[in-house]
Amino acid sequence: MAQMWITMGPQHPMTHGLWTLRVKVDGETVVDTDAELGYIHRGVEKICEARDFTQITPYCDRLCYVSAMTWANSYIYAAEDLLEAEVPERAEYIRLIAAELQRLASHLMWLGAFGPDIGNLTLMTWCMRDREMFLDLLQELGGSRMHYNYPRVGGVKRDIPIGFADRMIAKVKLFERRIDEYEMMLDESTIWLVRLQGVGYANAEEMVAAGVSGPNVRAAGVNYDVRWAHPYSVYDEIDWEPSVEKPTSVKGADCYDRYRVRMEEMRQSCRMVLDAIEKIPGGKNSNYSKGDEMIFKKAPLRAPEGATGFSNYECTRGASQFYIKGGGEGRGKSPYRLSIRSPMFITIPFVAKTMIGYKVADIPAIMGSFDPCIGETDR
């Protein structure tokens, strides 16, 4: 049969955003693929060259609306490296809790979007219901529902409100039971297993060579995680262990492994926040006023020329990195150059090549299992 190129996207239910997957098919089999990105390129890196270090945080929130808190944190660690800021320990704990709550919300969004890809439409409503709990918690911290603008260079914007700890513990404990419900619903669902098992194999070494990171690599049987390999927050004082999944085949991890590892990550995130809220310095029921030195230390506003800042951060989809050069406009008030490394920018071309050899109907399962987000890809 003649081979032909088909264009999936930019407007396609599978694409989870605006991008194009060009697929060369032979009958129903994929024989070649090509990814086209850049439909929502906003030029964040250029915009940041004309903003000061506090003004950049909201732009980093908007890199990915599903995991705004982790992206803002990632930027803040790079800015702190550049400006040599000190951070109080309570602020580090609050950031950790905020980031892990965001990870829960993000993985729930992923699961909710992945279900309809596979044919399980009910899952979307279940996940949105639970995600709302965590968005409410994050709203208490940041004041808005999705883009929080919460961390600051040298601390956080506000302390946790009174009663936040109790509400959070109740919700997280409820959610821990809900994870079991999800597993009951999915792990023995025939549709789920048939569509995911044996599809989209990728092995760990290949993925590392191609620059893939995060849960996608951990699904392939390696517990590599930035949170212990390049520790940045107070993860070394918290009780948790990196999630890892034993791949079901010698060929590496399939879509089912990637689903399993994200469920396990949600469990670990629950465990982390429950532990962190008990260990938080200053007490979980106290509320320090804005700018108190328990949650914020003043940091320099300007960075000299030649100074650089770098952060390596475990975002919800893999390692996100920022590289900032000081000495920009306003006598160093803005960065001279700010560069963003998005885990998905490198993963999407890799995943496109992973699909070769599978059927066209497997494309949504393979793509969805890698958790694509186009906002952060195109920046």
Is position 169 an interface residue for another protein (rule: CB under 8 A)? no
- Token pair 């390049």 in the structure block, residue: 230
The reply on whether position 167 binds another protein by CB under 8 A is: no
Task: Quote the DSSP letter at residue 26.
Answer: E
53 versus 134: smaller Cβ distance to another protein: 53
- The residues in 175-204 that bind another protein, with binding defined as CB under 8 A, are 203-204
Within 322-341, the residues that bind another protein by CB under 8 A are 323, 325, 329-334, 336-337, 339, 341
- Least Å distance, CB 336 to another protein, is 7
Cα–Cα–Cα angle for 46, 51, 54, rounded to 5 degrees:
130
Q: How far is the CB of 321 from another protein (least distance, A)?
A: 5
Of the ranges 116-124, 166-174, 177-185, 220-228, which one interacts with another protein (CB under 8 A)? 220-228
Identify the burial level of 34 via C-beta atoms within 10 angstroms of its C-beta, where 0-12 means exposed, 13-18 middle and 19 or more buried.
middle
What is the Cα 358 distance to its own chain's centre?
A: 27
- Amino acid (1-letter code) at residue 347: T
Instruction: Say whether residue 223 binds another protein (CB under 8 A).
Output: yes
Q: Between 78 and 141, whose beta carbon lies closer to another protein? A: 78
> Does residue 309 touch another protein according to CB under 8 A?
yes
Report the nearest approach of another protein to the CB of residue 171 (Å): 26
**Rounded-to-integer distance, Cα 267 and Cα 180, Å:** 10
Find the shortest distance in angstroms from Cβ 81 to another protein.
4
237: contact with another protein by CB under 8 A: yes
Is there binding between residue 217 and another protein (CB under 8 A)? yes
| Spatial separation of the C-alpha atoms in residues 326 and 241, rounded to whole Å | 36
Q: Is 378 in the site for another protein (CB under 8 A)?
A: yes
Residue 267 as a binder of another protein (CB under 8 A): the answer is no
d(C-alpha 346, C-alpha 6), whole Å? 22
Cα 374 from chain centroid (whole Å): 12
How far is 339 from 332, CA to CA, in rounded Å? Answer: 16
CB nearer another protein, residue 37 or residue 160: 37
**Residue 38 touching another protein (CB under 8 A):** yes
Pairing of strands 318-325, 29-36: unpaired
Token pair for 171: 């919700």
319 membership: H or E segment, kind and range: strand 318-325
Burial track 66-92 (b if 16+ CB lie within 10 A, e otherwise): bbbbbbbbbbbbbbbbbbebebbebbb
Does 251 contact another protein by CB under 8 A? yes
Q: Judged by CB, which is closer to another protein: 42, or 145? A: 42
- The minimum distance between CB 70 and another protein, in angstroms, equals 15
What are the residues whose beta carbons fall under 8 Å from the beta carbon of 156, sequence distance 6 or more?
91, 94, 95, 98, 141, 150, 295, 296
Q: Which stretch binds another protein (CB under 8 A): 129-137, 179-187, 228-236, 262-270?
A: 228-236
Among 89, 301, 359, 360, binds another protein (CB under 8 A): 301
The reply to whether 345 sits near another protein by the rule CB under 8 A is yes
Rule CB under 8 A: choose which of 85, 99, 168, 202 binds another protein: 85
Q: Closest Cα to residue 66, out of 375, 377, 349? A: 375
Of 84 and 181, which has the nearer Cβ to another protein?
A: 84
The nearer residue to another protein, 145 or 251, going by C-beta atoms, is: 251
Q: Which of residues 47-66 bind another protein (CB under 8 A)?
A: 47, 49-50, 52
271 near another protein (CB under 8 A) = no
Q: Which of 53, 77, 110, 164 binds another protein (CB under 8 A)?
A: 77
The neighbour count for residue 312, using CB atoms within 10 Å, is 18
Residue 5 has φ and ψ, to the nearest 5°, of -90, 130
Tokens at 180, concatenated: 């079991």
Peptide bond between residue 304 and the one before it cis (omega within 30 degrees of 0): no
Q: Which is nearer to another protein, 188 or 236 (CB)?
A: 236
Determine, following the binding rule CB under 8 A, whether residue 151 of this chain makes contact with another protein: no
Considering the complex, state which of residue 115 and residue 372 has its C-beta at the smaller distance from another protein.
372
